[in-house]
Chain A
Amino acid sequence: MFVSIVSYGLALGAVYALIGITYNVMFAASRVFSFTAGTVGMLGGVFGALFIDRLGMPVALGFLLTLAAGAGLGIITEILTVRPVLKSLEQHLYVLSTLAFALILQQLTAIEWSTEPQPFPRLLPFGPGLFDQQFWLPLLACALTIVGLEWLYRRTLVGRAFLAISEDNYAARALGLPEQRLRIASYALAGVIGTLAGFTGGEMMLAYFGNGPLLNFYGFVPVALGGMGSNRGAVAGGLALGLFQQTANFLVGGIFASVAIFVVFIIVLLVRPEGFAGSAPARRV
Chain B
Amino acid sequence: MNDSATLPLAVAPKRKLGGLEALVPTALLAAVGALLPWLGDSYLGVIATRACIYWVLVSGLNLVVGFAGQIAIGWVALLTLGAYVTSVLTAGTVLPEISAYLALLIAAAVGAVFGVIIGLPALRLRTFYFAMTTLGFATIVTQVALAWKSVTGGGVGVPGPVLAWPFASPWGFYYFCLGLAVLCTWMTSNIAASRFGRSLVAIRDAEVAAEAVGISKPALLVTVFLFSGAVAAIAGGLFASLQSYITPDAFTFDLSVLFFIAILIGGRGSILGPLLGTIILTALPEFAAPLVAWSTFLYAVLLLVIVLAVPGGIADLLDFKNRRPLERHREIRPRPELLAQILPPPAQPSHIKLANLSLSFGGVRAIDAVDLEIRTGEVHGLIGPNGSGKTTTLNVISGYYVPQQGQVRLNEEMLSPRPASARASRRIARTFQTPRLVGAASVLENVMIGATTAGRASFVESLLALPRQRRDEEQAYDAAMAALTAVGLDQLAFVRADRLQHSELRFVEIARALVLRPYFLLLDEPAAGLSVDEIKRLGTLIVTISRQGTGVLLVEHHADLIFDICDRVTVLNLGKVLASGTPAEIRGHREVINAYLGA
Contacts and interface: CB of A to CB of B under 8 A. Distances in A.
Interface of A: 33, 80-81, 84-85, 91-93, 95-97, 99-101, 103-104, 107-108, 111, 213, 216-217, 220, 224, 253-255, 258-259, 262, 265-266, 269-270, 273, 282-285
A216 B135 CA distance: 10
A17 B395 CA distance: 41
B140, B257, B300, B432 interface centre (most CB from chain A within 10 Å): B300
Nearest to A102: B300
A87 to B, nearest CB: 12
B129 A95 contact: no
A273 B136 contact: no
B301 A104 contact: yes
16 contacts: A96-B264, A99-B73, A100-B300, A101-B304, A103-B296, A104-B297, A111-B293, A220-B132, A255-B143, A259-B144, A266-B136, A269-B121, A273-B125, A282-B361, A282-B362, A283-B361
Contact of A285 (B140, B311, B432): B432
Interface string B107-148: 000000000000011001111110111011101100110110
A281 to B, nearest CB: 10
Contacts of B301: 100, 104
Contacts, number: 108
Contacts of B400: 284-285
Contact of B140 (A93, A220, A258, A283): A258
B307 A96 contact: yes
Interface in B85-126: 120-121, 124-126
Contacts of A96: 71, 264, 303, 307
A151 B335 CA distance: 66
A45 B132 CA distance: 23
A258 B307 contact: no
A108 B147 CA distance: 30
Nearest to B145: A255
A93 B307 contact: yes
Interface in B286-340: 293-294, 296-297, 299-301, 303-304, 307-308, 311
Contact of A97 (B125, B147, B308): B308
B304 A100 contact: yes
Given A103-B299, A255-B144, A273-B129, 18 more contacts: A81-B304, A92-B127, A95-B131, A96-B264, A101-B304, A103-B296, A107-B296, A111-B293, A216-B132, A217-B139, A224-B132, A258-B143, A262-B137, A266-B133, A273-B125, A283-B361, A284-B400, A285-B395
A262 B140 contact: yes
A107 B297 contact: yes
B208 interface: yes
B121 A270 contact: yes
Report whether over half of chain A's contact residues are helix, strand or loop; otherwise say mixed. Answer: helix
A262 to B, nearest CB: 5
A60 to B, nearest CB: 33
Nearest to A105: B300
A270 B129 CA distance: 11
B139 A269 contact: no
A133 B23 CA distance: 65
A108 B137 CA distance: 25
Interface string B391-430: 1000100001100000000000000000000000000000
Nearest to A275: B129
Contacts of B391: 285
Interface in B205-224: 208
A108 B297 contact: yes
Contacts of B401: 285
Nearest to A224: B129
B300 A104 contact: yes
B307 A97 contact: yes
B253 interface: yes
Contacts of A254: 143
Q: Which are the 9 A-B pairs with shortest beta-carbon distances?
A: A103-B300, A107-B297, A100-B304, A100-B303, A255-B147, A33-B128, A92-B127, A104-B300, A96-B307
A265 B121 CA distance: 11
Interface residues of B, number: 46
B308 A213 contact: no
Nearest to B308: A84
Contacts of A93: 307, 311
A255 B147 CA distance: 7
Contacts of A97: 304, 307-308
Nearest to B205: A91
A104 B304 contact: yes
B302 to A, nearest CB: 8
A269 B129 contact: yes
B304 A213 contact: no
Contact of A111 (B124, B146, B294): B294
Nearest to A270: B124
B161 to A, nearest CB: 26
A80 B303 CA distance: 13
Contacts of A220: 132
Contacts of B147: 253, 255
Nearest to B296: A107
Contacts of B304: 80-81, 97, 100-101, 104
A253 B401 CA distance: 47
A84 B304 CA distance: 11
A108 B297 CA distance: 7
Contact of A266 (B69, B121, B308): B121
Given A92-B128, A95-B131, A285-B400, A265 B136 contact: yes
Contacts of B132: 216-217, 220, 224
B362 A217 contact: no
B143 A273 contact: no
A191 to B, nearest CB: 18
A96 B310 CA distance: 13
Contacts of A81: 304
Contacts of B297: 103-104, 107-108, 111
Contact of B257 (A84, A103, A253, A262): A103
A258 B146 CA distance: 13
B139 to A, nearest CB: 7
B300 A95 contact: no
Nearest to B300: A103
B117 to A, nearest CB: 9
B209 to A, nearest CB: 10
Contacts of A108: 297
B50 to A, nearest CB: 21
A95 B128 contact: yes
Nearest to A253: B147
Contacts of A95: 71, 127-128, 131
Nearest to A101: B304
Given A108-B297, A273-B129, A259 B140 contact: yes
Contacts of B131: 95, 99
Contacts of A258: 139-140, 143
A276 B41 CA distance: 59
Contact of A85 (B133, B136, B139, B307): B307
B227 to A, nearest CB: 22
A217 B71 contact: no
A275 to B, nearest CB: 10
A216 B139 CA distance: 12
Nearest to A92: B127
A92 B139 contact: no
A254 B144 CA distance: 10
A253 B148 CA distance: 12
Interface in B427-448: 432
B294 A107 contact: yes
A202 B362 CA distance: 46
